[in-house]
Amino acid sequence: GKPQQSITSFFKKK
């Protein structure tokens, strides 16, 4: 399968 991306690659910490 394709590699899994992480949420933190899209959303930054507040």
Angle at 12 (CA atoms; ends 1, 10), nearest 5 degrees: 30
Report the distance separating Cα 14 and Cα 2, nearest Å. 29
Write out the binding residues for other proteins, residues 1-14 only, by CB under 8 A.
Answer: 1-14
- Count of alpha carbons within 13 angstroms of residue 12, beta-carbon side: 1
CB of 14 to other proteins, least distance (A): 4
Count of residues that interact with other proteins, criterion CB under 8 A: 14
CB of 3 to other proteins, least distance (A): 6
Residues in contact with other proteins by CB under 8 A are: 1-14
